[in-house]
Each structure stands twice: as structure tokens, then as C-alpha cells.
Structure 1
């Protein structure tokens, strides 16, 4: 159900070029005029600029740029995702907050988002550089009723959500580098980290962490990653509205997750392979025992990498170092 504050924002937005009286707001929201005034003050704290004129009423002058629970939920037309939002101006990692929220009983679809992370997490204990107010640092708490062994499919599903959103909203051609990186022009703009808690082959909850470089410029990246990282702004030449991007991602995630729960993984696999980086091309796979060049064929139903073995047959790979990039005659992995 839409909150009183969201209804208030909607009424003000619809009447943006004229005043709407306190009495009319009170009647439409079914709250006292005093309550309307208190909601106005809270909206101002969230960054809305509201003009109040005696005998005329109220109108919105500008909408906020800063992220908050209220600004994200206004206009978010979803059934279950983002109905509960936890916002932090600064935190160690949204993954940490999400795990604690899950333990405390937060519902399926809870979204945790931060303006800045001091210890953002990537795969294999790598740190994710999370600049303040420049990107989307977000975790989604899920409580899926799926077999434990299928949980890697959620990372692949999220990858297709991000790639499809970037393609539609920004008119760019993204690729997904297995299993969890989104590339544009062979530079990383986003990553996914999926963690879960399970007992006796039963998933208690899953936390899908999403990090997206949105409005950074090259000077914003540390020197050690500046050559292989990029941002949506750098790739499109345009500064982007964080609110709109977050909402588009959440709406698409909900739609695709619901379809996945009803229809299974086949459609996700097909979408993923449509964005798959280097599918049909050679990669180098290095394991403890050997190193070989092989064709990347796609992904398996369980999320494993499919390559061609020495006999020309499909082979699943679950582990090993993969080198994706060839520069100056040398393949590079990251």
C-alpha cells in the first residue's frame, strides 16, 4: 500500500506548476493539516524544496538529488522489491548491513543502499572501490524457495538484469564476463557479489550485492584500476540520475525474478548468452594441472562455464583461472 508521504509527493508532483491548498491535501490524504505540515518538513529534510504561501497552499520547486528511502520509493512501481529500503549515508558494505537485516527478520525484497562504502566487497575477497555519491552500491535480500545447488543462477539472472537495463536505458552494448562482471567497451562498469546463508540444503536467504560505477570520471579511479574500470558516464558522455537507474534496475529485477521462479532458468540462460563476453571465441583456462586454449561455448543450467574439451565435446568448468583479454600478444585475466 502506498504510504501517506508517497501520496503527498504524488499530489505535489501532479500540481507542480500550481499551488495545492493544505485543506485539499488534508482531505485527499485523510490526515490533519498539522500532519500534512509535518510531512512537508520531512520532505524538506530529504531534499525536496517546497514553497508554502499563505492562502494559496504548497508546491514543489525542486526534487532532491540525494538518495533516501523516501526518494527511492516514490515512483517505484513494484509489488515486493523495495517495499522495505534501508539507506546508509556511509557504511562498511551494504552486504554486511543486508546480512544483519536478514538475521533480524527483514522481508524478501528488502533493498539496502549506501551513498558510500568504506569496505565494498568484490568476489574472492577483492575490495570494490565505492566513491561517495558517484555510483550505485546496493544489496537485495531474497528468500527464494529454490534448491541450494541452483543458487548460482541468481548471480547470472542479476547479470542479465543489469546488462538489459543498460542496453535499454543508455543505448549501449554491454557484455557479461562470466560469472559476474558487466563490461562496456571491454572495461568493467559493474559487478555482482552473491552470498547466502543455508542449513541442511535449504536456503535461508540470499544477498545479491550490486556495485555500479555511474558518474565517475577517470580521475576518480585509483591508478591501479583506472585502465580496466570505467563508468556509465564515461561510456555515454552523460551524467545519470541515480534514482532513475536504481528504480529501473529494481523493476526489471522483480519482473525477471518472478519469471525465473515460474518458468525456471532456461530463459535466463538464453538472455545471458546473448550478452555473454567472448562466447564462441577462444579463452585460456589455467588449472592446477594444466593450461589450455579452448572455445567458450556458453553456460550450463547450473551456471558452470561451458568449454570445448580436447575431444571437441562440451565440458563444464566450475573452477580455475580464466584469461579473457589479449593485449600485446599476452592474455590477461581480471
Structure 2
């Protein structure tokens, strides 16, 4: 962890002033290094009060994403192996893939304040404006086969739903398989990409990409009727650092349930589509069907023109 982040971590832990001398001694760096770290934090927007006699004090924890601010909310055993934070990046999933190919361990996280080339499913773009959302990708190395891997998207949908509900106190629905909805509008998209070992049939790594609309957002005309944010709907400001941490806390609790499929009970309860008429987009064909159930592998069972079928992949839409 950098000196800047170590200083921030100490300021977050303390309710009182901390002298520069004390910080330098605890972190085993020079007083000048402490001063530079304080100045850098102030430049990034942190409100730090400096007193010649007393030292430094964080007067307000702003909604700025940082490693120390995330880690203060982490519970349990899932401590991210690395956290890489950017102001802007083309795509967190693309960056995570580069790191994973280079050997990044399980739990490495890439977060950005905005994305210039954010991606959704089927190559679609993902609206990722600065200062309003959480755009993050996690490198996971679970012991899964290629058949089991798609279930991770549903599990992640539950984890993110739990985290949002905990902080925003609003019910979240899941549109199979990767979209989260609040008040019938999309607030989150999940993009899961995997690398397969063809000889063993097992997964080398999975990139779990999560994009959440958190703060107040003025959506472009083409998105106003279909997308929203937590703050747009609730008028509440949610800590992005705490929301990131709570997602990790939920993932830590749910990942052991991958094999048993227990988490699927929650997927079904939150389903936006079960019992509804939907449009299925499968390859080049489009047809209307009724969503009947979600099976024990996370696949969607529908009744369409050709009878009952199981969708393990593909895209659906629903008129809300």
C-alpha cells in the first residue's frame, strides 16, 4: 500500500488529530513523505484539517473510492488481494483480463470512476459517466467446470442485490440473467467472462464485471425510460466504498454455495420474469414465450412456440 493510502487509512481510523511525527513514526517514513501524502489527498478532494500544534484530522469522508475506505468495511475472510483504482479506463473487464493473463491472484479488483468503452453483454456499450457509479471487475479463480461457470452470474446478481438493499433499503429485482432493476428500471449490469482450459474442461479464471448506477444521473434521452440510479430513485447518497465492500462481503458468503445451488432460492424470489411473457433473442431468431421457472443450474425454463425449452444462454426482454 502506498504512503498516501497508509496515511488515509490512519486518518479513517482516528476520530482525533494525528501528528505528522506520529504518522511518520508509525509508517516508518519521513515527515516530508507524510506532508506530500496529505497534500496529494487534499488535491484528490479529501477534507483534511491541518493544525501546527495538533497535526492532521479528516473532517469529512467524501464519496471518493479508495482502497483504505473500502477495506474498513470488509468483514470475514475475503480481503482483496490487490485493488487497482483508476479515474478513467476504457474497460475494467479488459484491464482485469490483462492482469489475469499475467497471473493476478483470486480476488484482484479493478475499479474505475468512469469507463470510456464500458461493455455489456453481446458487445453492447455500458453507460459509465464519471462520479456517479461503481464500475468494477474482480478476478476469480474458482474450482469450476465450463458447465458450472455460467451460474456465477446469477450468484453475483444476488450478492449485488443484497448489498444494495442493505444500504439503500429498497427491493431489487433480477432480470435473468445479468440485470438488476429498481422500480422497473435497470440500475446494474453484470458481465461475466471466462478463460477455459480446453484439455481439462476447467476454468482458468473468471472476470466478474459489475456496473452500478449509484449517484444522481442525468441519463441521455434513449436511456431515461429504461435506466435509473439508486439516488435518482431514493434521493439518498450511498457510500460507494461501503457498497463495494458489502458486495465483496456478500460474495464471500455466497461463493461456497455455488455447488449446492442454495443461492438460487434467492434468484427465484427476486426474479422479474418468472410467470411473465417475454421476448427471447436466440441467435438470429426472436420469439415470444412465457417464463416458467429457473432450474437448479440457473437456466431459464420457458414455454414457447415449440413447447417447453431450457435457456442456458441468450438474451431476453420484458415489457414492464
TM-score (normalised: structure 2): 0.86
Displacement of 1:66 in angstroms is 2.4
For residues 101-250 of structure 1, the aligned pairs below 5 Å read: 101-200=99-198, 201-217=201-217, 220-250=218-248
8 Å CA contact 2:12–2:69 kept in 1: the answer is: no
Q: Residue 305 of structure 1 is aligned with which of 286, 300, 303?
A: 300
Task: Tell me the equivalent position of 1:255.
Answer: 253
Q: Secondary structure at the match of 2:64?
A: coil
Deviations 1:269-308 (A, max 9, x none): 11111111132334354667884543x2322232211234
Q: Distance in 1 between matches of 2:252 and 2:4?
A: 23
Q: Distance in 2 between matches of 1:190 and 1:289?
A: 26
Q: Residue 60 of structure 1 is aligned with which of 39, 46, 58?
A: 58
Task: Tell me the equivalent position of 1:281.
Answer: 276
Displacement of 1:251 in angstroms is 1.8
Q: Distance in 2 between matches of 1:111 and 1:32?
A: 27
Q: Distance in 2 between matches of 1:83 and 1:290?
A: 43
Q: Distance in 2 between matches of 1:15 and 1:209?
A: 33
Task: Tell me the equivalent position of 2:319.
Answer: 325
TM-score (normalised: structure 1): 0.83
- In terms of mean alpha carbon deviation, does 43-52 or 185-194 score higher? 43-52
8 Å CA contact 2:176–2:273 kept in 1: the answer is: no
- Considering only aligned residues, what root-mean-square deviation do their CA atoms show, in Å? 2.9
Q: Secondary structure at the match of 2:114?
A: strand
Q: Secondary structure at the match of 1:148?
A: coil
Displacement of 1:41 in angstroms is 4.7
Change (3 A) 1:265 1:182: farther
| Runs of 5+ consecutive residues of structure 2 not aligned to the other structure | none
Q: Secondary structure at the match of 1:316?
A: strand
| Runs of 5+ consecutive residues of structure 1 not aligned to the other structure | 327-334
8 Å CA contact 2:289–2:303 kept in 1: the answer is: no
